[in-house]
Amino acid sequence: MLDRRNVLQLSVLLFGSVLLVSAFVEELDDSFLESRDPDDIWLIEFYTPWCSFCRHLDPVWHQIGSELRSFGSPVRVGKSDATVSTALAKEFRVRNYPAILMFKNQVKYNYAGSRTKDGIMAFSDRVSGPLVRSLSSVQLFQHTMNRHDVMFVYVGAKSELKGNYTTAAEELIVHTFFFSATRDVLPKAVTLPSLPAVMVFKDGTYFFYNEERDGDLKSWINRERFPNFLEIDGYTLYAMGESGKLVLLALVEETHLCDESLRNFYFGFMQGSNYISGLIMGDVIVPSFIVVNLSNDGYFLPQRHVETEHHLLDFLEGVLNGSVESLGGNGFSQRIRRAVYETKLTLVPLFRDAPGLGCFLLGFPLSIGTIFCYLCIKNRPTQTDDEDKSPQRRKKPRDKKTD
């Protein structure tokens, strides 16, 4: 009797916890835009019932809602079924699922990072706060440096450069933080060539933006917002394609991650090879190196096995001077090859796991197409029918001869 009572109490507690966590995430419908408070900041997920990624994200989404509420964050967390609230999904121009965005001051900020709790929480912290955060003391500056791998800082008074910096922050705040500081709070080792200045701290060092050398400020920030060496997933690799830089990847096995052999290089590494195998449409030996040019979906592979630093430097020099052949690309023939590859990738597992269903799905549209072609050919009028239906030509009467 006592055990049953304990089980019942435990079930009630678990049910209450689920309800409490669910209460931190609100279900939104098409009336959201009319009923919401204009001052509210919303973190919204658009999902569909048939999306497996949405189902995997659902428990993470409720954890995010619970943690933001417990931290006292002003951000309200909601989710919306795009198949039910179609007008709301259309208003926010949702195309892929799950779609994550923040709605603040009538502006939509799309999240394009990995679907993890830490990544989404960091996105919420960046976008919900001030566009450019002021660092008012040496201690605060040092604390911020310890927390961020990459840190952009504007130093100086109000100027045209600061206006450009703020404009860049409006678009790139979804990717990185932006800070401002006075000269006296910078580390003593930092030497400013002139004021105002924009600088970036990363990889244990710092350097300045130079308009003549670096071009547009926003493009420079977009190029430099990644550390020189980091672990890369599919989302990060896609984002790196917008920087205009080539990406060198070291592909390593998931169970043998070790940066002893990579510590002298500032390169990215990726666990496994599934993403790259899809890019090059073939198998990749792990571990290996590959240089990826995401501006045109091109890539470079070493001509021999890279065993030493000298081999790696030769490979990189070959990429730069053109002696290493560029593969892939987004030309017409490559697109045809990719369409064939993706079709094969979809059909092979289907025929292997469920051959009957695969034959039906492939044979049914072919049968319909064959019947349609047969009916079109059968009902096509012949040349004889056309001649029979054509009006007979009338003979013109001869002109009478005049006397």
CATH number of the domain bearing residue 54: 3.40.30.10
Q: Do 362 and 312 fall within a single domain?
A: no
In a domain, 43, yes or no: yes
pLDDT tens string, the chain, 403 residues long: the values are: 445 555 445 444 443 444 444 568 899 988 888 888 888 899 999 999 888 888 989 999 999 999 998 888 889 999 999 999 999 999 999 888 899 999 998 889 999 888 889 889 999 999 998 999 999 999 999 999 888 889 999 999 899 999 999 999 999 998 899 999 999 999 888 888 889 999 999 888 898 999 998 899 999 998 888 887 666 666 666 666 666 666 666 655 544 444 433 333 335 666 666 667 777 777 777 667 778 776 677 778 887 777 776 777 777 778 777 788 888 877 777 778 777 877 777 777 767 777 777 677 777 777 888 888 878 887 766 555 555 555 554 444 454 444 3
Q: How many domains does the chain have?
A: 4
Q: Do 122 and 154 fall within a single domain?
A: no
State which residues form the domain around 203.
133-225
Q: Which of 54, 258, 359, 376 is catalytic?
A: 54
Compute CA 60 distance to the chain's CA centroid, rounded to the nearest angstrom. Answer: 18
pLDDT of residue 7: 45
Q: Do 265 and 344 fall within a single domain?
A: no
In a domain, 386, yes or no: no
Q: Do 139 and 120 fall within a single domain?
A: no
The DSSP secondary-structure symbol of 27 reads E
pLDDT of residue 258: 42
pLDDT of residue 373: 82
Q: Which residue has 């910078």 as its token pair?
A: 186
Q: Do 267 and 322 fall within a single domain?
A: yes
The closest of 222, 281, 297, 287 to 249, measured between CA atoms, is 287
Interacting residues of 14 by C-beta distance below 8 A, sequence separation 6+: none
Q: Do 324 and 337 fall within a single domain?
A: no
Handedness of CA 362, 95, 65, 30 (dihedral sign): negative
H or E element at residue 34? helix 32-35
In a domain, 100, yes or no: yes
| Rounded CA separation 153/77 (Å) | 30
373 assigned to active site: no
> Which residue among 297, 330, 363 closes a domain?
330
> Which residue among 186, 208, 225 closes a domain?
225
Alpha helices in 41-130 (DSSP H): 52-70, 86-91, 117-128
In a domain, 304, yes or no: yes
Interacting residues of 159 by C-beta distance below 8 A, sequence separation 6+: 196
54 assigned to active site: yes
14 by Cβ neighbours in 10 Å (0-12 / 13-18 / 19+) ranks as exposed
Handedness of CA 275, 281, 283, 284 (dihedral sign): negative
| Rounded CA separation 290/284 (Å) | 10
The residues with which 270 forms a beta bridge, in sequence order, are 251
Q: Do 218 and 251 fall within a single domain?
A: no
Within 10 Å of residue 213's Cβ, how many Cβ atoms?
Answer: 8
Q: Do 233 and 221 fall within a single domain?
A: no
Q: Which of 51, 258, 359, 376 is catalytic?
A: 51
